[in-house]
Amino acid sequence: MPDTDTLVCSHFTLTGGLGPARFGFAERVAAAAEAGFGGIGLLAADHARAGAAGLTDRAMAGVLADHGLVVAEVEFLAGWATGPDDPEAAEAAEAARVAEAQIWATVDAFGPRVVSVGELGGPEAMPPPDVVAERFAALCDRAAEHGTRVAIEFVPWTGIPDIAAAATIVRAAGRRNGGIALDSWHWFRGNPSAETLRSVADRVFMLQLNDADREVVGTLAEDTVRNRRCPGEGSFDLVGLLLLARDAGVSAPVSVEVMSTDHFALPVGEAARQAYGSTRRLIERAWH
């Protein structure tokens, strides 16, 4: 069953916005620990910003150890599937190389269980399926050199829109450390398939929980970053999803990712407490 004993607080649940975090690393770690979380997520770009500001990896590791937390997931790598192959796109290729190098630097510093990856462009930007699978396999091989796993986070409006598309890539790549990150917002706003989930339950490496109202406000891309709610406070059947994941044999950790204008406005301690408390209540309803 999903590991609901030790919850992970995803990176954006604590940052107070989508850009550089409003709260320092130590403040975020303390808030997550006080709320009850056992781990946090970390954006590789945030790790880079902390280093540029003079916060060393040793100091960050010390903060985590002082609060009994670990970095459980590192986010987010895009551009691995779409190339670019065009020789005129050298600047984009270099940006992708730098982003991946930062991912591995963050992995090496904190030893997370999984790295979350995906693509944010539309279907027209995706290469042929065999090329995508080959590139994912190569990415998994590079991740193995750093002792971690790679999970595709499917996103409804992109070239990897649902769990079926992610599962197809994972199967074709054939790497033991290649799997799926199942985010409940992407699941319910996209094309949920219980049959597919059952078929790849052992390859679900992270289960991210969040909620939302029944109606999408604006575009999907806008709704996902402005209007997510804490688990159990929206319209999604999260109890049903947890029970499906349990019965299918998913054994992944559970991360809480809340991204909304209202949530970002909260003090970091309150943001962590609300995210943890609502998720615990949801889990109690699911299991009991």
CATH number given to 3-287:
3.20.20.150
What pTM was computed for the model? 0.94
Rounded CA gap, 155 and 162, in Å? 6
Q: What is the DSSP letter of 181?
A: E
DSSP per position, 12-46: HHHSSSSSS-SS-HHHHHHHHHHHT-SEEEEEHHH
Planar angle of CA 89, 91, 94, nearest 5 degrees: 110
pLDDT by residue for the chain (288 residues), tens digit each?
899 999 999 999 999 999 999 999 999 999 999 999 999 999 999 999 999 999 999 999 999 999 999 999 999 999 899 875 555 556 767 778 889 999 999 999 999 999 999 999 899 989 999 999 999 999 999 999 999 999 999 999 999 999 999 999 999 999 999 999 999 999 999 999 999 999 999 999 999 999 999 999 999 999 999 999 999 999 999 999 999 999 999 999 999 999 999 999 999 999 999 999 999 999 999 998
